[in-house]
């Protein structure tokens, strides 16, 4: 089943008189359950692509359908709803609210959930459950500054998962972590894909990481230059494999 | 959602208590001034009106002199007891007239002394003033005619002299003995001459005249038969007074007749002025307080740009961000208002305690509601621009903000 369908996605920035093409006609189709790595040199447009696919930004031109929704035609309010219910985002620099506990950080997306809203007690219950799942059951009331980098990123992953989104984006999730911690976070993302069938898209610089994914999309100057599928080591069969 | 928004705003204010306090100083001062002025004005008004009510509806005063007359009035033409007799005899619809003035003297009893407000009047006084004796009796018409040395004292005076049973005691007034024949009932507040009722030593008017002459402040207190007849009676009293004072055609009145509606009008004028003063303060406070809130909210939006980006990334709509900052600004205003109300009430009490014989403050519910609504709406109005700026942020740029 096709989850992401992007055609001729273009994003331009105007810098004075010069026009920067951050993305230049990207076609991309992603099926449900895929684990995808997006690679490329710095400035090749990886983050721009993630932000567009994650509905944080809108394309200058091109079309984008997410789970059948014409995202490029939605207004700000509808985009917020899509981000809330269908998308989880994990950032390189965690982006947690520093003054709120891990638990409150994870509750946050549930607070902004408008369709079938949850009671405060139920929000807390779900947030706890997800925090347990990412291995932070004993750190729920700690605030981000009191947590290690790896723990912070786990909180961020829990926050991304709490609304049970179809798509999980991770933009260089291990960029700020040491190699051992990176390995753990990565293992967590792989598990989320392999065991829970969640679609995961990871931006990474590390060949190691890319090697563990089913599919690697390489960008250069805002264009897709390689789109390769690796031999599966997975339990789940690759959906929509050629 | 609203519960979270309010909790969030409170938490954010609590994180920066000192800043929040300084921010709301403008509102605190504004609301404080409003409440203090209202409390004091209403306190005075309250005492005044209850006193007017105490007199009953149908009454008027005749006072010496006429500030409206352009020509000089003879100094000797004071309002006297004789004028009272004349008015009572000649004007139809007048129930009773009592001359009325006061004199501050020491009243002594076996070496004990107390400050007394001597109120010379006639035997009609209790009915006119709706103020009766608690113990003993009031003096009679006969005692008035014979200039009897009798006195009816106020309860505070009795207490200051340490009298458990005052009736029958001999006190000294004007250096001569007077017999206490009664004690008045407790009647808090002040009379038409601004003197406390319960401190009075009431003596026959004729007796008083043998010791002191009625001063310029002397007046007649007239009680009417009918309440709706005021204008006609006023005109007739005026004619009788002019005849009594032998004023020729074209000569100005050397007295002034004040009716209850005149009094209410003058009270209205005072409260009207006070209202304008309050409005001016409100205007300044609105500006100062509002700009303070706007300034701090703009700072807050900048400081929390990343937070706004994070909230948007996990699904906050623009209107959620808008609501968050609007609620915070309104709460800032509201808290300022709350503190202002408390301090304002305190200030009005201090005024009452420091200024002698000042009536206690009276804060009506509408003033408190007004204080709240006013301070919250300032927060809301001046929070709009910062909140709109927050809501307009682009999620990606907000997330990238250092
Ligand atoms: N807001 C912006 N204004 C102007 N140019 C921008 C903006 N955002 C991105 N760009 C440009 O778009 C191009 C792609 O940027 P992007 O952040 O997507 O790169 P990236 O692949 O994520 O790089 P990195 O690996 O360093 O994170 C870059 O040339 C960048 O300068
Ligand atoms: Mg990037």
How many angstroms does the Cα of residue A73 sit away from the middle of ligand 1? 24
Closest in B306, B307, B312 to A80, CB measured: B312
Is pLDDT above 70 for B74? Answer: no
Percentage above 90 pLDDT, chain B: 26
Q: How far apart are CA A61 and CA A72, in angstroms?
A: 9
Chain B touched by A111 (CB under 8 Å): yes
Number of the ligand closest to the Cα of B396: 1
Greatest pairwise CA separation for chain B in angstroms: 100
Q: How far apart are CA B362 and CA B165, in angstroms?
A: 35
Does residue A19 have its Cβ closer than 6 Å to ligand 1? no
Closest in B4, B315, B399 to A83, CB measured: B315
The pTM of the full predicted model, rounded to 2 decimals, is 0.73
pLDDT digits (tens, 9 = 90+) for B139-157: 999 998 899 999 999 998 8
Residue whose C-alpha is closest to residue A82's, from A52, A59, A102 = A52
Q: How far apart are CA B201 and CA B103, in angstroms?
A: 10
Q: Are B102 and B119 in contact (CB under 8 A)?
A: yes
DSSP B110: T
pLDDT digits (tens, 9 = 90+) for B295-342: 999 999 999 999 999 999 999 999 999 999 999 999 999 999 999 999
Residues in chain B with CB shorter than 8 Å from the CB of A152 are none
Chain B touched by A69 (CB under 8 Å): no
DSSP A115-158: SS---HHHHHHHHHHHHHHTT-TT-TT--GGGS-HHHHHHHHHH
pLDDT-based confidence at A237, cuts 50/70/90?
A: very low
Token pair 């089943």: residue: A1
* Three-state secondary structure readout of B248-302: CCCCCCCEEEEEHHHHHHHHHHHHHHHHHHHHHHHHHHHHHHHHHHHHHHHHHHH
pLDDT-based confidence at A242, cuts 50/70/90?
A: very low
Which segments of B184-259 does DSSP mark as H helices, in order? 205-209, 230-244
Does residue A112 have its Cβ closer than 6 Å to ligand 1? no
Q: How far apart are CA B238 and CA B229, in angstroms?
A: 14
pLDDT digits (tens, 9 = 90+) for A190-200: 999 998 889 99
pLDDT at residue A240, rounded to an integer:
46
Using alpha carbons, list the distances in angstroms from residue B181 to A228, B145, B151, B166: 118, 17, 6, 8
Alpha-carbon distance B324 to nearest alpha carbon in chain A (angstroms):
12
When pLDDT is averaged across residues B22-39 and rounded to a whole number, the result is: 86
pLDDT at residue A238, rounded to an integer:
45
B315: left (phi over 0), alpha (psi -120 to 50) or beta: left
pLDDT-based confidence at B108, cuts 50/70/90?
A: confident
pLDDT digits (tens, 9 = 90+) for B209-243: 888 765 544 788 888 877 777 888 889 889 998 88
Chain B touched by A94 (CB under 8 Å): no
pLDDT digits (tens, 9 = 90+) for B175-199: 899 999 999 998 877 776 667 888 8
pLDDT at residue B75, rounded to an integer:
54
pLDDT digits (tens, 9 = 90+) for A17-47: 999 999 999 999 999 999 999 999 999 999 9
Tokens of B79: 């309002």
What mean pLDDT value characterizes chain A? 90
pLDDT-based confidence at B205, cuts 50/70/90?
A: confident
- The answer to whether the Cβ–Cβ distance between A57 and B15 falls below 8 Å is no
Is pLDDT above 80 for A142? Answer: yes
Using alpha carbons, list the distances in angstroms from residue A115 to A107, A163, B315, B367: 16, 11, 12, 42
Residue whose CA lies nearest to ligand 1 atom number 25: A42
Number of the ligand closest to the Cα of B397: 1
Alpha-carbon distance B264 to nearest alpha carbon in chain A (angstroms):
57
- The answer to whether the Cβ–Cβ distance between B314 and A96 falls below 8 Å is no
DSSP B7-42: HHHHHHHHHTHHHHHHHTHHHHHHHHHHHHHHHHHH
Does residue A47 have its Cβ closer than 6 Å to ligand 1? yes
Using alpha carbons, list the distances in angstroms from residue A132 to A102, A128, A155, B271, B315: 12, 6, 10, 67, 23
pLDDT at residue B125, rounded to an integer:
87
When pLDDT is averaged across residues A145-150 and rounded to a whole number, the result is: 94
Residues written for chain B: 402
Q: Is B108 helix (H, G, I), strand (E, B) or coil?
A: strand
Residue in A11, A14, A22 to alter for ligand 1 test, most ligand atoms within 8 A of Cβ: A22
Residue A137 phi/psi, 5-degree rounding, is: -55, -30
How many angstroms does the Cα of residue A181 sit away from the middle of ligand 2? 20
Q: How far apart are CA B362 and CA B368, in angstroms?
A: 11
Residues written for chain A: 242
Is pLDDT above 70 for A173? Answer: yes
Using alpha carbons, list the distances in angstroms from residue B370 to B87, B334, B367, B375: 48, 11, 5, 8
pLDDT digits (tens, 9 = 90+) for B353-370: 887 767 778 888 888 888
DSSP A90-111: E-TT----TTS-HHHHHHHHHH
Chain B touched by A51 (CB under 8 Å): yes
């Amino acid at each position: 089943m096709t989850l992401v369908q992007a055609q001729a996605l273009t994003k331009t920035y105007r810098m004075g008189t010069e026009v920067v093409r951050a993305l230049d006609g990207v076609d991309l189709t992603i099926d449900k359950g895929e684990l995808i790595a997006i690679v490329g040199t710095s400035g090749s447009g990886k983050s721009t692509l993630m932000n567009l696919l994650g509905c944080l930004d809108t394309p200058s031109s091109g079309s984008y359908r997410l789970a059948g929704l014409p995202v490029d035609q939605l207004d700000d309010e509808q985009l917020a709803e899509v981000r809330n219910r269908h998308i989880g985002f994990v950032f390189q620099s965690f982006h947690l609210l520093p003054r709120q506990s891990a638990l409150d950080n994870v509750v946050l997306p549930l607070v902004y959930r408008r369709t079938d809203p949850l009671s405060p007690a139920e929000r807390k219950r779900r947030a706890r459950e997800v925090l347990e799942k990412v291995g932070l059951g004993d750190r729920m009331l700690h605030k981000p500054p009191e947590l290690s980098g790896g723990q912070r990123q786990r909180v961020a992953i829990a926050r991304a998962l709490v609304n049970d989104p179809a798509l999980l984006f991770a933009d260089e999730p291990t960029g700020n972590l040491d190699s051992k911690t990176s390995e753990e976070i990565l293992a967590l993302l792989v598990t989320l894909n392999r065991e829970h069938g969640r679609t995961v898209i990871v931006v990474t610089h590390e060949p190691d990481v890319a090697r563990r994914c089913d599919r690697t999309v390489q960008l250069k100057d805002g264009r897709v230059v390689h789109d390769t599928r690796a031999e599966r080591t997975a339990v789940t069969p690759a959906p929509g494999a050629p | 959602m609203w519960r979270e928004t309010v909790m969030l705003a409170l938490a954010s204010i609590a994180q920066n208590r000192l800043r929040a306090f300084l921010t709301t100083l403008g509102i605190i001062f504004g609301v404080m001034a409003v409440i203090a002025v209202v409390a004091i004005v209403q306190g005075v008004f309250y005492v005044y009106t209850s006193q007017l009510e105490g007199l009953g509806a149908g009454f008027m005063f005749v006072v010496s002199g006429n500030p409206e007359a352009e020509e000089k009035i003879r100094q000797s033409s004071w309002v006297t007891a004789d004028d009272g007799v004349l008015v009572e005899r000649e004007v139809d619809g007048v129930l009773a007239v009592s001359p009325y003035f006061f004199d501050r003297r020491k009243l002594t009893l076996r070496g004990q002394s107390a400050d007394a407000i001597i109120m010379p009047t006639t035997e009609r006084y209790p009915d006119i003033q709706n103020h009766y004796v608690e113990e003993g009796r009031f003096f009679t018409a006969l005692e008035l005619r014979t200039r009897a040395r009798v006195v009816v004292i106020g309860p505070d005076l009795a207490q200051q002299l340490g009298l458990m049973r005052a009736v029958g005691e001999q006190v000294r007034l004007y250096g001569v003995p007077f017999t206490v024949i009664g004690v008045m009932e407790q009647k808090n507040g002040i009379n038409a001459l601004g003197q406390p009722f319960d401190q009075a030593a009431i003596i026959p008017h004729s007796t008083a005249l043998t010791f002191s002459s009625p001063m310029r402040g002397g007046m007649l207190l007239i009680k009417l038969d009918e309440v709706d007849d005021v204008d006609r009676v006023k005109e007739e009293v005026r004619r009788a007074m002019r005849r009594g004072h032998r004023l020729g055609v074209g000569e100005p009145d050397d007295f002034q007749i004040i009716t209850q509606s005149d009094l209410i009008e003058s009270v209205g004028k005072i409260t009207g002025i006070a209202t304008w003063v309050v409005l001016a303060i409100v205007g300044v406070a609105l500006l100062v307080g509002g700009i303070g809130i706007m300034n701090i909210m703009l700072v807050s939006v900048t400081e929390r740009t990343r937070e706004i980006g994070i909230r948007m990334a996990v699904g906050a709509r623009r209107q959620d961000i808008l609501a968050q900052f609007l609620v915070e600004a309104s709460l800032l205003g509201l808290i300022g208002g709350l503190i202002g109300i408390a301090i304002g009430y305190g200030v009005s009490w201090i005024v009452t305690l420091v200024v002698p014989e000042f009536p206690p403050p009276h804060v009506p519910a509408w003033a408190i509601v007004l204080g709240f609504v006013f301070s919250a709406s300032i927060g809301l109005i001046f929070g709009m621009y910062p909140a709109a700026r927050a809501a307009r942020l682009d999620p990606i740029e907000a997330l990238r903000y250092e």
